[in-house]
A and B are shown apart, each in its own frame.
Chain A
């Protein structure tokens, strides 16, 4: 065993060369190896770290850097000098606090909402395994394939499978729809999760015909079963069948999302449709890698198994390949781009804060060069001077860190309060410890780095020279150069953030400018599931009529309707169709496809969809009457361009199959069905009385705030039947907002960040120019005495600021142009290099900079020549 690299390096770095060091390293090495044999490598390494640290802090003969006495002395001195300069100390503390606070708060939100850490032990060893078609489309895994993987693969400790399922829960008050998964018995072993109550699933639960068993979530147990201590063994009714609860999962357990119930495979194991190898029915495998196996070799092994399965079952597996991804990667796949953007923004803001602090410290340091030079001339050791300055900047940084933490908590609450309605998982957001640690470390580290500037600088320059010069002309050219460079960098980064914010603001305004084809305001929606009953269609139609009748009678309700799909949320049924009066194409690939949407008569009226031609459905369109359809403008234009579609006939399904021909009776405006930004699909509406469904979306247009109707609508539905499950109570505004929540969040974050960045940069600019004016007081006094106009002085001062601002803007524009590409996926209706944004934002920064320079410039004109000259 070799010693851990970092402590060994510390040891070699800190200790003087010679036998002392060698014997100590030898002693440590000997003991390290002994401990490795006795207690294992991990314990040995931990021991080594501990001992090296104890040596660094304790060994008085070896380490001369830090001693307690000096430290106390430095702390006292630091306190005194910080209190003596309240403005400077305040600026550094506030800057650090803003940087640490803002970046931590927003990282916490990003983390809580998007990153969703996998709450399982060693999540990196969990793989998500599914299958893909020859075209590369990822599909679910065939159950039979999974069984073969499980039997043959050696790379996994555990290879489990599961599939999502929505259950109708009855028997506990009003029926409800709950999200669940059907899982193999080893599923929880793969996740290394144990129930807190009762037992987990065992192999017996997987056997076909086994009694149905379930593990329930902690939330389900508390919410719906009142935390019943005797819940194990209790029976609940899922989809009308009794299922025995065998255990309760730990609080906070989630697999990719919140699930209320996990049922065993026994219920499905024998079914024909899953034992058909060609059927891909929603299963996904989760594998926990064995020790010393990595993802790539596991993927190679599975690919090999896949090839042999293809040889053994050419009919079903010819075009099937196996897809292996890390579970954590799979999870963030859809939000990765947003994450990168937000991480970038977090990083830039933190960098700005650091640069700002650095600038301030350098300014202060150069003012103290005289002091340092003096102390050095009096025999102060360089190492002591550096140590003292480090302690000083640590004290200030620490204060900034504390304030930053407080700010992060406050800011987080504020952000949660203003977050758009429908932002998911906001309740789970909390301050992220790691982010806090990182932000603090970065800011404080930066403080330390630049805090030592004056001492380092003094030792470089001739101390005597510094002594003389510091008295006469103030700070050195070197410190000015550093500050100018830092400020230009800051301005450039601020512009990058501003540009990002500008692009997102423009995106949001074009998104909210999209006509969704309906009026989302004042509409409440919920999802209803009617239990399966014999007699089916007629029964369902009667239930729907009953529900709508009762809801229409409620106060505050204008109209109500049901539909199989919800606008924006996505179509639940897409199918090919064919018009009767057109020739059937030779190939199926050329058949048109539309969103099929069974609706009740008032659907169009409730959503405020414009009727273009013909008529909407009426209560007279029943199952027994003439079959009718309403189409959208896109469908009319595609199928019957230039013709009148009213009275034409079309049919859902393959042309050669028998089907019901429907007569087109109306044309309505296009409706955004698949989110705001997607293309509008062809849409074909039919009366729900002629094409019923077991579950559908209820839509209610109200004259009062829609949320206020939730409880009375719930009661009205319950009055019809206890067994109708209600879920997803939302306003249509929330549905629309949710579809653009990523853009909203990006806008929010970038705007807040850009605001802070501009504030910091302008403070920095103000400070630098003010400082320059103070230092050039003498020069300006002479100029004024020699007859310079006030205007010349203003120009002189402003010019200094503007040169930096324009340089910063130039660099910032280049940076923004490079970085805006990464925003592309979030943008809508705006190009990454949007001209408006790329002109407006630099202009804004220029104006802010002018304001920041104006005050010192004005002060410069107030310099009385006589006073300035007298100071000589």
Chain B
């Protein structure tokens, strides 16, 4: 299996939220979840660009479902991670875990 593509920080966050939200991974919900969990304001420009980039990399896919009344019946996309997407997230976790290894004590004590 080829090395999973590199994930930017924001791309990783978006993917994680998509995985977390499962059946309710719609655009507005993803943005809201990012705001709550990652504590960052997400501009739609950045968000949709990231969706597209993840799509280009084959990490994310979506299907279009009928809209609700709250959005005047305009269609919406339900996002989900592809197998490659899941692999990329796992790989990213692995990298962080390797880097984190042995640093727990240092980071828990106040830095001098």
Contacts and interface: CB of A to CB of B under 8 A. Distances in A.
B52 interface: yes
B77 interface: yes
A54 B28 contact: no
B75 A54 contact: no
A51 B76 contact: no
Contacts of B77: 23
B76 A26 contact: yes
Interface in A18-68: 19, 22-31, 33-34, 50-62
Contacts of B64: 19, 23
B45 A26 contact: no
B67 interface: yes
A345 to B, nearest CB: 44
B76 A33 contact: no
A51 B52 contact: no
A23 B74 contact: yes
B5 interface: no
A57 to B, nearest CB: 6
A25 B74 contact: yes
A22 B46 contact: no
A58 B71 CA distance: 23
B16 to A, nearest CB: 20
B70 interface: yes
A21 to B, nearest CB: 9
B92 interface: no
A661 B63 CA distance: 105
Given A31-B28, A51-B43, A54-B43, A62 B72 contact: no
A26 B46 contact: no
Interface in B1-29: 26-28
B49 interface: yes
B40 interface: no
Contacts of B31: 31
B28 to A, nearest CB: 5
Contacts of A31: 28, 31
Contacts of B75: 19, 22-23, 26
A51 B43 CA distance: 6
A27 B26 contact: yes
A28 B42 CA distance: 13
Nearest to B31: A31
Nearest to A52: B44
B48 A62 contact: yes
Given A55-B48, A62-B48, A23 B27 contact: yes
Nearest to B27: A27
A516 B71 CA distance: 75
Interface in B64-102: 64, 67-68, 70-72, 74-77
Contact of B45 (A23, A33, A34, A57): A57
A28 B44 contact: yes
A58 B74 CA distance: 23
Interface centre among A23, A50, A61 (most CB of B within 10 A): A23
A23 B27 CA distance: 9
B46 A54 contact: yes
Contacts of B45: 51, 53-59
A60 B43 contact: no
Nearest to B70: A30
Contacts, number: 69
Interface residues of A, number: 26
Nearest to A34: B28
A59 B28 contact: no
A35 to B, nearest CB: 10
Given A19-B64, A22-B75, A34-B28, A27 B44 contact: yes
Given A27-B28, A31-B31, A22 B44 contact: no
A560 B109 CA distance: 92
B103 to A, nearest CB: 35
Contacts of A62: 48
A61 B52 contact: yes
Contacts of A58: 43, 45-46, 48-49
Given A28-B44, A31-B31, A50-B43, A22 B74 contact: yes
A836 B71 CA distance: 69
A56 B43 CA distance: 11
A55 B45 CA distance: 4
Interface in B36-70: 43-46, 48-49, 52, 64, 67-68, 70
Contact of A23 (B46, B70, B76): B76
B69 to A, nearest CB: 10
Contact of B49 (A23, A28, A61): A61
Contacts of B46: 54, 58
B44 A54 contact: yes
Interface centre among A27, A29, A52, A53 (most CB of B within 10 A): A27
Contacts of A26: 67, 71-72, 74-76
Nearest to A27: B27
Interface string A3-28: 00000000000000001001111111
Interface centre among A28, A50, A59, A62 (most CB of B within 10 A): A59
A91 B71 CA distance: 53
Contacts of B48: 24, 55, 58-59, 61-62
A47 to B, nearest CB: 10
A51 B44 contact: yes
B70 A55 contact: no
Contact of B44 (A34, A55, A60): A55
A55 B42 CA distance: 12
B9 to A, nearest CB: 17
Contacts of B27: 23-24, 27
Contacts of A60: 49, 52
Interface in A325-342: none
Contacts of B70: 29-30, 33
Contact of B71 (A29, A53, A55): A29
B61 to A, nearest CB: 14
A55 B75 CA distance: 19
A50 B26 CA distance: 20
B3 to A, nearest CB: 25
Nearest to B44: A51
Interface centre among B31, B68, B77 (most CB of A within 10 A): B77
Contacts of B43: 50-51, 54, 58
Given A23-B64, A61-B52, A29 B74 contact: yes
Interface in A543-567: none
A746 B90 CA distance: 77
Nearest to A56: B45
B72 A59 contact: no
A370 B77 CA distance: 48
A57 B49 CA distance: 11
A28 B72 CA distance: 11
Contacts of A61: 48-49, 52
B28 A30 contact: yes
Contacts of A29: 70-72, 74
Interface centre among B52, B71, B75 (most CB of A within 10 A): B71
Given A23-B75, A51-B44, 4 more contacts: A26-B74, A26-B75, A58-B49, A60-B52
25 contacts: A19-B64, A23-B27, A23-B74, A24-B27, A24-B44, A26-B76, A27-B26, A27-B27, A27-B44, A27-B71, A27-B76, A29-B72, A30-B70, A30-B71, A51-B43, A51-B44, A53-B45, A56-B45, A58-B48, A58-B49, A59-B45, A59-B48, A59-B52, A60-B52, A61-B52
List the 3 closest pairs (A to B, CB-CB), nearest first: A58-B45, A26-B74, A54-B45
